[in-house]
Amino acid sequence: MDNRLEQTKQVWNEVDINQVRDVAWSSISYFSKKLTQSFSLDSQIVPLIHNLLAQRLPARSDNLTGAAIVCGDMQSEKWFFEDNKIVKFTKIDGYDLSNVSLARYSPAENIQFVPHVLDCNDLVLERNSYDLIVGCNGIHHIYNLGNFFYQAHKSLNDDGLIYLYEWIGLNYLQIPKINHFFATILLILLFPSKAIRTTHMGKIKGFWIQHSPNEFDPSEACNSQELLSQFLKYFQPLKKVMFGGLTYPVFEGIAQNLDENKLINKIRIRIVYYTDVLLTKLNIIKPCFIAVIAEKKKL
C-alpha cells in the first residue's frame, strides 16, 4: 500500500465521524427537506427508489441485492437497504478501504451484509450482480473513476438503479472563485457575529472559506471534476438535482452554531438556499453536488 493510500486509511480509521456529521452543512434539516422535494413532492428519496425498483423488478422485489461503495459505516447508505416496506433486500456488499469504519455498522436482521476491505480504485465487480448501487459522499474519494463506473455498469442488472449523492465541484473540495465571492458576501451580511462564523476547528468563515488542498486527506475529492462526465458515459439519469454551490461554502463547519428553531436562523438559511437556487439556474455559480437516480445505458 503506497503512502497516500495508507494515510487515507489512517484518517478514516481514526476520524470522529459523528463530529464530522454534526458540523456539516447537510446536517441542517431544511436542506435535506428541499432536496427531497426537488425529486418528488409526495415521496422521500428512499421510497421513491423502492417504488421504481418494485415496478422494474416485480418478480424478485422481495429478494434484492445491493452494493454500497466507499460506504464507511453505512450510516448514509443503510436506509436504502434496511427499509423493507416496499421492497426487500436480502444481501448487501459494502466496499471501503477502512476496516474500522465497516466494522461500526450493525446490519438489520434478515440482511446479509458482506464487508469488503479494499482500495476501490481497483474495484472488480461481478456482472449482473446488483439491483441497486448506492454511493453517498464516497465515490469522490476514488481517483480511477473510469474503472469504477465501468464496474458499476457491468455489475448492475438491466432493470436495476444506481443512486449517487456526490461532490462534483473542484478537486480537493476547493470553491470556485465566483461561488467564494457570493459566499463571502452572504456570510458577512447575514452573520455579523464572528462567533457564529467560527468553525469547529477555530477558523472564522468570511473572507476565508475553505481549507487548502494539502489539509485534506489525499483521496478527498481527488478527481471530482471528472466524476459527472465519467458517470454519464455509463448511466442515464432518471431524476437529477445539482446544488450546494453556496449552501456548502457558507454553512460547512458552522452548522453546529445555528439553532434551526430560531426565526432569524430560519430566515438566514432560506436566504442562502434560494440565492443558491437562483444563481445556479442563471449559471452564475457552479453547483458542488449532484443527487441522481439513474439506470444503465445500453453500450
CA–centroid distance for 51 within its chain: 21
The arithmetic mean of pLDDT across residues 204-217, rounded, is: 96
Q: Coil, strand, or helix at residue 273?
A: helix
pLDDT of residue 154: 99
Chain segment 118-145, per-residue pLDDT in tens? 999 999 999 999 999 999 999 999 999 9
pLDDT of residue 191: 98
CATH of the domain spanning 3-171+217-244+286-296, picked from 3.30.460.80, 3.40.50.150, 3.60.15.10, 3.40.50.300: 3.40.50.150
Neighbours of 196 (CB within 10 A): 16
Cell numbers linked to 90? 436480502
Phi and psi angles of residue 137, each rounded to the nearest 5 degrees, phi first: 60, 30
Q: Which H helix or E strand runs over 45?
A: helix 45-56
Instruction: Name the one residue in this structure whose C-alpha cell is 488542498.
Output: 213
The structure's pTM equals 0.95
- Flag whether pLDDT at 2 surpasses 70: no
- Flag whether pLDDT at 1 surpasses 60: no
Instruction: Name the one residue in this structure whose C-alpha cell is 470556485.
Output: 176
Chain segment 219-244, per-residue pLDDT in tens? 999 999 999 999 999 999 999 999 99
Of the listed ranges 40-44, 61-65, 155-159, 165-169, the one predicted with least confidence: 40-44
| Residue spans per domain, the chain | 3-171+217-244+286-296
Rounded percentage of the chain residues whose pLDDT exceeds 90: 89
- Pick the closest to residue 201 from 5, 20, 14 (CA basis): 20
